[in-house]
Amino acid sequence: MRTMQGLQKVQLKRGHFVDTPDVGTQLSTFRQTIDNIDAALIHMLAERFRCTDQVGVLKAKHQLPAVDKGRERRQYERLTRLAEEANLDPGFVEKLMQFVISEVVQRHRQIAAVEQTTNTNQADTP
Amino acid sequence: MRTMQGLQKVQLKRGHFVDTPDVGTQLSTFRQTIDNIDAALIHMLAERFRCTDQVGVLKAKHQLPAVDKGRERRQYERLTRLAEEANLDPGFVEKLMQFVISEVVQRHRQIAAVEQTTNTNQADTP
């Protein structure tokens, strides 16, 4: 039973009727929340890359390696614990973070290449 | 030059010295921010799955298909725009969201299977 306001009449056990959102309205409400969370995720990720890019510049300037295996291991251990606490599949979180971290490492290598070119050009200046 | 407080003396152009964090301290500061962002990402993702699981239950109850191509297309268009605004590679964001959405669809199928089993058992009850 569907009304104009996206509500449907639901009959309770004792014979009373209550208005509850119909399926389309419920779906739309959930999707608005999902869209808001996605916008937050994108902006969080953008801030994460702004931060890891600064790490990349620091590493390039001081000739530190792009990959730090010890740091990565500690990150995964912490993420696994956080995933379990949040009732998320740690395997899924690990794969997702592997994907993010591989993008970070790629960006670090690009930053290192730019930094090296800049230094070479400065050294060439008479 | 490194001091006890994780600071290094940096000589300015006019010969003055200022204390700035040394490389290790700077790296550690960035990593604390990254770790905080990761915790936020995990919790945002957990909330997203809580919400998509409810969508899964709704879809299963009303026999709606697990995949909605129109909705997915609109999501990707919006995410691409958000990624560009946030100065992120839209290709990277698309791949990341494909990974998340494929997990969502898998969970929806599991929910639908459980819902079907429950309905069958209820129908079997004399």
**A80: exposed, middle or buried (C-beta count within 10 Å: 0-12, 13-18, 19+)?**
middle
Asked if residues A21 and A36 have their Cβ atoms less than 8 Å apart, the reply is no
Asked if B31's CB is within 8 angstroms of A55's CB, the reply is yes
What sign does the CA torsion over B55, B60, B62, B65 have? positive
**Nearest-CA distance A72 → chain B (Å):** 11
User: Residue B83: is its pLDDT beyond 60?
Assistant: yes
Instruction: Give me the residue spans of the domains in chain A.
Output: 2-124
Nearest to B29 by CA among A85, A126, A58, A27: A58
Mutation target vs A (from B10, B22, B30, B75; most A CBs, 10 A cutoff): B30
> What pLDDT score was predicted for residue A4?
45
User: Residue B18: is its pLDDT beyond 80?
Assistant: no
Asked if B88's CB is within 8 angstroms of A49's CB, the reply is yes
Asked if A26's CB is within 8 angstroms of B37's CB, the reply is no
CATH superfamily of B2-124: Chorismate mutase (1.20.59.10)
ipTM for the predicted complex? 0.81
User: Residue B40: is its pLDDT beyond 80?
Assistant: yes
Mutation target vs A (from B8, B22, B23, B38; most A CBs, 10 A cutoff): B38
> What pLDDT score was predicted for residue B20?
75
> What's the rounded Cα separation, in Å, for the pair B93 and B109?
24
**Nearest-CA distance B92 → chain A (Å):** 8
> What's the rounded Cα separation, in Å, for the pair A35 and B44?
12
Mean pLDDT over each residue of chain A, to the nearest integer: 86
> What pLDDT score was predicted for residue A65?
85
What sign does the CA torsion over B112, B117, B118, B119 have? positive
> What pLDDT score was predicted for residue A67?
82
Q: How large is the average pLDDT for residues B105-122? A: 85
The residues, any chain, with a CB within 8 Å of residue A52's CB and separated by 6 or more, are A104, A107, A108, B30, B34
B30 Ramachandran zone, left/alpha/beta (phi>0; psi -120 to 50)? alpha
pLDDT range class, residue B5, cuts 50, 70, 90: low
pTM: 0.81
Asked if residues B71 and A47 have their Cβ atoms less than 8 Å apart, the reply is no
Asked if A55's CB is within 8 angstroms of B30's CB, the reply is yes
**Nearest-CA distance B43 → chain A (Å):** 6
The residues, any chain, with a CB within 8 Å of residue A24's CB and separated by 6 or more, are A6
Q: Which of A42, A86, A95 has its CB closest to that of B82?
A: A42
Residue ranges of the alpha helices (H) in chain A?
Answer: 23-61, 69-85, 90-124
Choice between A82 and B3, residue whose per-residue pLDDT is larger? A82
User: Residue B10: is its pLDDT beyond 80?
Assistant: no
